[in-house]
Amino acid sequence: MEFDKEVDATGLKCPLPILRCKKGLSDMEAEQTLKIMATDPGAVKDFEAFCKQTGHELLQQDDQEGVYTFYIKKHVSE
């Protein structure tokens, strides 16, 4: 999948992957896609909840040998 920015949050525990994601999205344009990788198993539910709360779109998530990769499209800012 194509993406505009990549953030590596591997080795970090909750809430740091979400905080890194928020920081990564903050300097992106609406409709751009962020790729973020995490190793915390709780990240799966955390990113689903984060996207529901913020309106960002979780396009895809993968699990490759304990590394969870999420593709998040930034919502249109008002």
Number of domains in the chain: 1
What is the end-to-end Cα distance of the chain in Å, rounded?
Answer: 27
pLDDT at 77: 67
> Considering the domain boundaries, does residue 58 fall inside one?
yes
Look up the CATH number of the domain holding residue 52: 3.30.110.40
In a domain, 69, yes or no: yes
Rounded to 10 degrees, what is the CA torsion of 39, 18, 62, 73? -160
The answer to whether residue 40 is domain-embedded is yes
Tell me, yes or no, if 14 is annotated catalytic. Answer: yes
Task: Flag whether 78 is in a domain.
Answer: no
Residue 7 bridge partners (DSSP) = 36
pLDDT tens-place values along the chain, 78 residues long: 999 999 999 999 999 999 999 999 999 999 999 999 999 999 999 999 999 999 999 999 999 999 999 999 999 864
Q: Within a domain: residue 30?
A: yes
Can you give the residue range of the structural domain that contains 19?
5-73
Is 42 part of a structural domain of the chain?
A: yes
Sheet bearing 5-9, strands edge to edge = 5-9, 33-38, 67-73, 57-64
Among the listed residues 12, 14, 16, 58, the single catalytic one is 14
